[in-house]
């Protein structure tokens, strides 16, 4: 058996798997960064933090219910609160059925909510869903390097189309605006910060990795069967000379990219909230007002002077004005307030010394 045959039979199926694992791990890191930022604003924004935790619990509970539905266990009860979610199956099934339901519970929240957004993108984006085999890979598309290259090319094409859509998103378009809201909701609540009403259990990257590790070690035979199924699917794609195998894992890569972008947007929103918390009085609302007013004014301007980059220019001006306004207010208004406070303390101190 030559090197090429060994590569095709043993190593090539692993390439897309490793690519998905890499992007999923990056997704975990961004989730941790968001949770860290939420802890910084929690003292002043407890309702917002509770809402994000509710979203995370909601996604997790829905995924668990979907797992019971797929395994035909059925759902007899569904409970959701800010801190806790629970799904009761109609039929208690063990073995592979219970394991699959737990996979939906522990892994599903990272991909299933993003899949709904992917469906929306299919109708909103004009391109980026190309999973064809590049010409320079013809003849080696079923090798490890070929599979990895096709996977990377597919993710690059999707990312390019996705970022092009986001940079030209029309906030006055109901479909675009609705998608942006869903993207923010996904980013804010992709994972809860904690679960449990009586005993609060922290949900972090270690918690997620520990649960997934338990899934792997509890029923290793099921994991082996899953790998064998993936290999069989790869061989079927190979013998039929189709790109079905790498296309399947490319979709999982797209879902991770959607989730990562949603988390980045959520981080930026939380950073803006954290920054404006340093501003006192009505000036705190100024960046948000400027964000809205600047976008509307730009759209009105471009209505009378149309160009080819109306949406992107309006977004760019809106973000630039918001950042500039926030910076100027922080620099001049907050310093002024601090200076006044220091002057009052200085006068009180001098007055006390003169009385003595």
Q: Judge whether residue 202 has pLDDT over 50.
A: yes
Note whether 269 and 291 are same-domain residues. Answer: no
Please give the mean pLDDT across all residues of the chain: 87
DSSP code for 284: G
Question: Could you tell me if 222 and 106 lie in one domain?
Answer: yes
Question: Do residues 290 and 324 both lie within one domain?
Answer: yes
Range with the poorest average pLDDT among 14-18, 53-57, 139-143, 277-281: 139-143
* Cβ atoms of 274 and 179 closer than 8 Å: no
Say if residue 170 is in the same domain as residue 130: yes
Let me know whether 262 and 308 are in one domain. Answer: no
What is the average per-residue pLDDT within 299-308?
89
136 Rama class: left (phi>0) / alpha (psi -120 to 50) / beta = alpha
Note whether 313 and 302 are within 8 A (CB). Answer: yes
Exposure letters 234-267 (e unless 16+ CB within 10 A, then b): beebbeeeebebbbbbbbbbbbbbbbbbbbebbb
How far, in Å, CA of 180 to CA of 48, rounded?
18
pLDDT of residue 351: 54
Model-level pTM?
Answer: 0.89
pLDDT tens-place string over residues 128-156: 888 777 766 666 777 888 888 889 999 99
List the structure tokens of 142. Answer: 């079923």
Residue ranges of E strands in 167-315: 194-195, 201-202
- Residue 86 burial (CB count, 10 A): 12
The answer to whether residues 179 and 304 belong to one domain is no
3-state secondary structure at position 76: strand
Same domain for 243 and 335, yes or no, is no
Examine the domain organization and report whether 99 and 18 are in the same domain. Answer: yes
Tell me: do 265 and 344 sit in the same domain. no
Question: What is the extent of the structural domain holding 309?
Answer: 281-355
Q: Is the pLDDT of residue 1 over 60?
A: no
**Residues 193 and 339 occupy one common structural domain:** no
| Number of domains the chain contains | 2
pLDDT tens digits along 108-122 = 999 999 999 999 999
Q: What percent of the chain has pLDDT over 70?
A: 89
Asked if 22 and 151 touch (Cβ cutoff 8 Å), the reply is no
Task: Give the pLDDT confidence score for residue 138 in this predicted structure.
Answer: 66
Whether residue 21 sits in one domain with residue 159: yes
Residue where a domain terminates, one of 276, 297, 329? 276
Q: Which pLDDT does position 6 carry in this prediction? A: 79
266's tokens? 């959520």
Q: How confident is the model at residue 343 (pLDDT cuts 50, 70, 90)?
A: very low
């Amino acid at each position: 058996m030559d090197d090429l045959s060994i590569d095709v039979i043993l190593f090539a199926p692993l390439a897309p798997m490793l690519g998905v694992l890499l992007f999923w791990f990056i997704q975990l890191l961004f989730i941790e960064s968001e949770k860290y930022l939420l802890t910084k604003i929690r003292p002043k924004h407890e309702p917002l933090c509770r809402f994000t935790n509710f979203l995370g619990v909601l996604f997790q509970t829905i995924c668990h219910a979907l797992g019971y539905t797929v395994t035909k266990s059925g759902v007899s009860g569904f409970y959701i609160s800010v801190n806790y979610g629970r799904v009761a199956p109609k039929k208690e099934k063990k073995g592979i059925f219970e394991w699959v339901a737990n996979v939906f519970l522990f892994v599903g929240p990272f991909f299933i909510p993003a899949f709904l957004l992917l469906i929306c993108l299919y109708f909103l984006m004009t391109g980026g869903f190309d999973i064809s085999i590049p010409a320079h890979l013809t003849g080696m598309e079923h090798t490890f390097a070929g599979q990895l290259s096709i996977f990377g090319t597919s993710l690059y094409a999707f990312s390019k189309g996705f970022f092009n859509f986001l940079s030209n998103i029309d906030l006055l378009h109901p479909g675009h605006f609705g998608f942006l809201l869903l993207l923010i909701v996904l980013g804010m609540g992709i994972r809860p910060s904690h679960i449990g009403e009586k005993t609060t259990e922290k949900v972090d990257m270690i918690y997620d990795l520990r649960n997934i590790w338990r899934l792997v070690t509890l029923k290793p035979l099921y994991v082996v069967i899953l790998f064998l199924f993936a290999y069989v699917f790869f061989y079927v794609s190979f013998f039929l000379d189709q790109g079905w195998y790498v296309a399947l894992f490319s979709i999982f890569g797209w879902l991770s990219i959607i989730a990562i972008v949603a988390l980045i947007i959520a981080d930026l929103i939380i950073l803006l909230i954290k920054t404006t918390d340093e501003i006192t009085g009505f000036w705190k609302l100024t960046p948000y007002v400027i964000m809205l007013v600047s976008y509307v004014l730009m759209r009105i301007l471009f209505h009378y002077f149309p160009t080819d980059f109306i949406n992107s220019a309006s977004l760019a001006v809106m973000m630039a004005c918001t950042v500039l306004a926030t910076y100027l207010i922080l620099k001049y208004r907050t310093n002024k307030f601090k200076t006044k406070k220091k002057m009052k303390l200085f006068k009180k101190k001098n007055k006390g010394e003169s009385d003595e």
